[in-house]
Chain A
Amino acid sequence: MSRFQIPASPLSSDAEFLRRVCLDLTGTLPPPGRVREFIASRDPQKRTKLIDALLDSPEYVDYWTFRFGRLFRVAAGAVGGAEHAYTYWRWVWENIAQNKSYREIARERLAAQGYGGASRHFLSYGEEAKAADIMPEEVRVFLGRRLDCAQCHDHPYEQWSQDQFWGLASFFGQISRTEWTGFGAAVLFDDPAGRQPDFGESAETVKVIHPRRKQLVKPAFLEGQAIASEGIGHPRREFARWVTEHPYFAETLVNRMWGHLFGRGLVDPVDDFRSTNPPTHPDLLKALAEDCRRNGYDLKQILRRITSSRTYQLASSPRESNRQDTLNYSHFIPKPLEAEVLLDAISQVTGVPEVFENGPGGQAPPGTRAIQLEVPDIYPSDFLQMYGRPNLLQIPETKTSPSLNQALHMLVGKTYTEKISRKGGRLDQLIQKDASHGEVIQELYLAALSRFPSPLELAELESVLGKSSDKRRAWEDLVWSLITSREFAFNH
C-alpha cells in the first residue's frame, strides 16, 4: 500500500469487528448479550480472546463443516445418493471437530479405500467416477490449478500439456468398486489390474487412454517423473504424498482461507492459480504458506493468524483517498452473506427457525440451521436457491449477487413477511416484557446489526414508531427494515 501511497482506513470499531469475525468464523451473528459484553469490556486482549472463543465454539464446527462440505461437494447429487453423502458429511464433520491437520485430511481423501466417508467422493451417480474427472477436481481443490482444458488439448496459455493431464489422471485409473451389497455400501479399492469394465461398458472406456495417442497412460507427476517402483501398487497414496508435499498445497489452502475472510483471494478466483493470474501480494502469500507449513496445516491457526491481523481488523468505511482501492486491503471490503448464513441470520433475529422440508411429511429436525444440513441438496429451499445456493454438481464456489427474485421476495415473500409476524418469536418476548419503543429499537439493533443505534437513529425511530397506534405492527415493520437493510445483508 505504501508503495502506491494508499492510506489505510483506521481500525474497525469493536462492534464492527465483533460482527465481522463472528460471521466469518462461525457463520452466526453474535447474540445481543455478547455484543453488550464485548463492547463494554475493557480488556486490551478482548479481540484475541474472542477469536479463540469462536474457534472453540460448536458453531465453528458447524460452519467449517458446511464450508468444507461445499468445497468437497458433499451432496446427494454429487456422489449418487443421500446415504453416501451423509457418510461423507460425517467424515468432514469429524475432521473439523478434531481440527485434524489439513494435510492429513487431504491424504485421507485422496488415498481413501473401503466404504468410509473419505472414499465417497470417488462415486459419481453411484459409479466410480472417471479418472479424467477426478484428477482435475483434486488438483483444483488442493493445488488451486484448473487443468480441465488440458484434457482435450495443451492448455492455451499455461504450461500444462495434454500428456501431463493424462499422466496425472492415470493415478486414478485403478479405482474399482465391489458389487452393491446394499445401498451406500460399495467398497472402493485400487485394482492392480486396472478398473474392470462393468456390465455394458467396454474395456476401452474404463481405461485411462490418451485421446490423441490412443495408448494406455502410465501415472506420471506434473513434472514428468513416474512413481518409484515400491509405490506402484498404491498409485493414489503416491499421488497424495506428491500433492501434500507440493509447495502449491499450502499456498492454495491459505489463499482459500484468505479469500473467505476478505471476499477475494490473493489469487482470485481461489482455484485459478496461473502465470497470467498472479497473486496481488506474492510475499504475503509465501509468508502465510510458510506459517501454515510450520504449524502443521492447522486450520484454526491459519484463521487465527489472519483474523488477528491489522489488515483484517481495518474499518470497512473508506477514506476519501482509498475509496477506489479494491485490491490493496486499505479498508475492509464488504461481502454479501452467503445464502445459508443470511437465512440463519433472519431466523435468529426474528426468533423463528426455518423448517427444512424434504418431501411430503419429511423434514430436518426442528431448529436445524441451514449451515447444519448434512445433505443440503435433499432439502429444496426457494430462499437458498434464490440467494445462490451452489449446485454442487457444478463448480461449488459461487458468489451471491442481487437479483429481481430476491427483490420480490424481500418485499412480499414469506421469509420476509411470515417470519416477522409468526407468534412466539423475538417480538413476542419483547411484547411480554412490555418493552418501550426505545428498548425494542436497541434490542433489535443489537440482534440484527450487532451495534447500538446512534442517538440520532434512536431519536428518529422512536418518533416514527411513536406515531403508530399498533405497537406490534410498528415493531414488525422495524424488523423488516432491519433484515432487508444492506447493513444486515453484508458482512462489513
Chain B
Amino acid sequence: MMRNAGCLTVTPELLKRRHFLRVGSLSLLGISLPQFLNFRSLQAAGAKDSRKQGKAQACILVWLEGGPSHVDTWDPKPNSSFRPISTNVAGIQVSELLPRVAGQMDKLALLRSVHTEENNHGQGTYYALTGHRPTAAMQFPSLGTIVTKELGARNNVPANVLVPDTWKTASYGQYTKGAFLDPAYDPMVVPDPSKEDFQISDLALPKSLTVERLRDRRSLLKLVDRMYRSKIERAEHLAMDRFTQQALQMILTPETRQAFDLSREPEKIREAYGRGSFGQSLLLARRLVEAGARFVTAAGHELNGWDTHSDNDERHKDKMVPGLDRALPTLLEDLEQRGLLDSTVVIVMGEFGRSPHHNSKAGRDHWPHCWSLAIGGGGIRGGQVVGASDERGAYVAERMISMGDLYATIYKALGIDWTKEYMSPIGRPVKIANALDDETGQPIEELI
C-alpha cells in the first residue's frame, strides 16, 4: 500500500532506497523517523485540503499536431506577417487570423513563455504529453492516464479517449499511454468522427451477433476454460474477467454508444464546429465529457499539419488557423451553454512553437525555446496573459513556464494533488508534474 504523505508518496521501498540518506540525516536534527513521518503526514493533512480544492471534472486536450507558429497566433509580433487585433479583453491582442477566438478571449488564458526541451516531433510530443524527456530506460505515464487514474471512470463511458486514430501510424499513440500504470487508464482510440462511416466498431454488436448469441458464446467459453481456470489462478485472468464485465456493460448500455454518436447532434452544431476531422473531434470530445469521460485528446489534424517548414504564412492563414478559429470558440461557447465550462479544463497546444524567423522556403522551423499555449475552463481564470516572450517571440523574457507548471495547474483545477509521485517498477519515483531540472511543477497562481 502506498501512503500519501504530501510531497512524496512514501513506500517502504522508497524509504529503503533513495530517500534513506535524506531521512537518515534528519537524526542530526534530533528527529526520529517515526516523528518525521508523522510530521510529514500532518503537514500533508493541512496541505492536502488546499491541493484538492479544484472542482473540475474533466479535461479536453486540443492537440495542434506539428506545432503552430506562436507569433502568428497567440503571441503576435512585428516579425509576423499578420497584424495583431484586439480581443474582448482590454489589453490582450492576438493575431488577426483569430477573430472569433478573440471574441472569446475572456474564457482563455494565454501562456506566452512556455519553454520545453525537445526539438523534434516525436520527442517533443512525448515531452508535451508526459512532461518528461524520452529516455530509452523507461516510459513515463501521460497526462491523460494520470488524470484518469486520479479521477476514475464514470457512467460506463471510457474515461480516457484519443480521437482520431491518425496517430496509430506515427507511434505517437504510444505516448498517450500510461507506461507502468494499469493499462485500464490507457486511452481508447477511436476513428475519425468526420467520416461518413464513423462508428466505434468495438462498442456495438456486429450484424452477425445478437445478444443471445453473445450469451451462448460466453457460456460456451465458461465450459471450455473451466479445466484450465480450475488449475491456474492468475491476477491477469481476474483482471480480464473484470474488463470483460465492464465491456459487456458498455456494449449493452445504449448510453455508452450514444455518447459516440454524432448523428444525435443538431446539424447546426455539427456545422458550427466545422465538418472536418478537427472540428468533429472537438465535438465528440464535448459529447464524451458530457457523458462522463475524464480526458479526451482531440487531435484531429493531419499528421504534422501545423509543421509549416515551407509557406508558413499561407498555410497558417488558409489551411490551419481558420479551422481552429472556428472550432475552438464553438467548443468554449457550447461548453458554457451546457454548464460544462466550469468543470472542463480546455488546453490548446502542440508540441512546440515555430521559429521567430522565416527560413529560405518561407517556412518556420521547430522552436521549443519559447512558445505559447491557451488554457481555459475548469475554474481557470481566462482573459489574461501569463509570461512574456522577447520582442521577436524567440526567448522567454518574463516568467518561464514549464510543462510541469502547466500540469500542476491542470491538476489543481481537477482537485488532484500535483505534488504526487508514482513509483516506477524499477523503484524510481516519478513526479506527476515534472518541471525543468526535475523540480516539481507549481500551479500558475494567476490562473487558479
Contacts and interface: CB of A to CB of B under 8 A. Distances in A.
Interface of A: 77, 125, 133, 136-137, 140, 146, 148-149, 156-157, 269, 272, 276-277, 316-318, 323, 334, 336, 377, 380, 382, 385, 391-395, 401-414, 417-418, 421, 454, 457, 460-461, 464, 473, 477-478, 480-482, 484-487, 490, 492
B85 interface: no
A57 B83 CA distance: 69
Given A140-B137, A486-B240, A380 B169 contact: yes
Interface of A, helix, strand, loop or mixed by DSSP: helix
26 contacts: A125-B122, A137-B136, A148-B135, A157-B18, A272-B426, A317-B231, A334-B234, A394-B136, A395-B136, A395-B137, A401-B183, A402-B183, A402-B239, A403-B184, A403-B186, A403-B243, A404-B188, A407-B247, A409-B202, A410-B244, A411-B247, A412-B201, A412-B214, A481-B221, A484-B221, A486-B234
B3 to A, nearest CB: 22
B225 A485 contact: yes
B2 interface: no
B314 to A, nearest CB: 24
Interface stretch (B86-94, B105-113, B204-212): B204-212
Interface of B: 17-18, 120, 122, 134-139, 158, 165, 168-171, 173-174, 183-184, 186, 188-189, 201-206, 208-209, 213-214, 216-217, 220-221, 223-225, 227-229, 231-234, 236-237, 239-240, 243-244, 246-248, 250-251, 425-427
A433 to B, nearest CB: 22
Contacts of A382: 165, 168, 189
A463 to B, nearest CB: 10
Contact of B220 (A394, A401, A478, A487): A478
B224 A481 contact: yes
Contacts of B134: 393-394
A377 B171 contact: yes
A477 B228 contact: no
Nearest to A358: B169
Contacts of B169: 380
| Residue of A393, A406, A412 ringed by the most chain B CB atoms within 10 A | A412
B26 to A, nearest CB: 19
Nearest to B169: A380
Contacts of B426: 146, 269, 272, 277
B217 A481 contact: yes
Nearest to B237: A486
Given A412-B204, A414-B201, A477-B216, A460 B223 contact: yes
Contacts of B170: 77
Contact of A405 (B137, B138, B168, B202): B202
Contacts of A272: 426
A318 to B, nearest CB: 8
A316 B234 CA distance: 12
B189 to A, nearest CB: 7
Contact of B202 (A125, A137, A408): A408
Contact of B223 (A392, A393, A457): A457
| Residue of B137, B139, B158, B216 ringed by the most chain A CB atoms within 10 A | B137
A402 B243 contact: yes
A405 B243 CA distance: 8
Nearest to A482: B224
Contacts of B214: 411-412
A408 B247 contact: yes
A482 B220 CA distance: 9
Contact of B246 (A404, A413, A478, A487): A404
A77 B158 contact: no
B136 A486 contact: no
| Residue of A125, A393, A394, A457 ringed by the most chain B CB atoms within 10 A | A394
A136 B183 contact: no
Contact of A486 (B217, B229, B246, B247): B229
